[in-house]
Amino acid sequence: MITAAKWIVILFGIFLICCGILMLLDPEKARSILRKAGSTNFINYAEITIRMIPAAGMIIYSEFTEYEMIYRVFGWFMLSTSIALYFIPRKAHHNFSLRSAEILKPVYFRLISPFSILFGAAVIYGVI
């Protein structure tokens, strides 16, 4: 269980790095993906449920890192916000993602991409 949690957290870090690279190289694709959040029941509940996996991994593996409190708090934050999203109407979630995609122009995606890359690297660094 501990080894699985560690690898889930590492894969989450890789995912964040890949998201950052996508935002940097193809911000329109990133906007397109953001627009789809909550667009169908399947996408909405799949995205929420999948989000809970790295959250649980961070909680489970937190005691084996030098940054136990950070991993534990972030994991619980992700888990609790995921649970809260189950109770928010899907259309409200989708409308929020559409509004966010309109606000976040391609240049903004490129500007925030390094933060996703660095955060992903920090997540991996903390468990290695």
Q: How do residues 82-103 score in pLDDT, each as one tens digit?
A: 999 999 999 999 999 999 999 9
Please choose, from the candidates 49, 79, 62, 46, the residue with its C-alpha nearest in 3D space to the C-alpha of residue 123.
62
Q: How do residues 53-91 score in pLDDT, each as one tens digit?
A: 999 999 999 999 999 999 999 999 999 999 999 999 999
Q: In whole angstroms, give the CA distance from residue 15 to residue 117.
A: 9
- Report pTM: 0.91
Residue ranges making up the domain that contains 73: 2-127
Continuous H helices in 1-105: 2-25, 27-36, 41-61, 68-87, 90-103
Q: How do residues 3-34 score in pLDDT, each as one tens digit?
A: 999 999 999 999 999 999 999 999 999 999 99
Query: pLDDT confidence of 49, banded at 50, 70, 90?
Result: very high
Q: In whole angstroms, give the CA distance from residue 23 to residue 120.
A: 14
* Total domains in the fold of the chain: 1
Please choose, from the candidates 53, 51, 78, 73, the residue with its C-alpha nearest in 3D space to the C-alpha of residue 63.
73
| Alpha carbon distance, N-terminus to C-terminus of the chain | 16
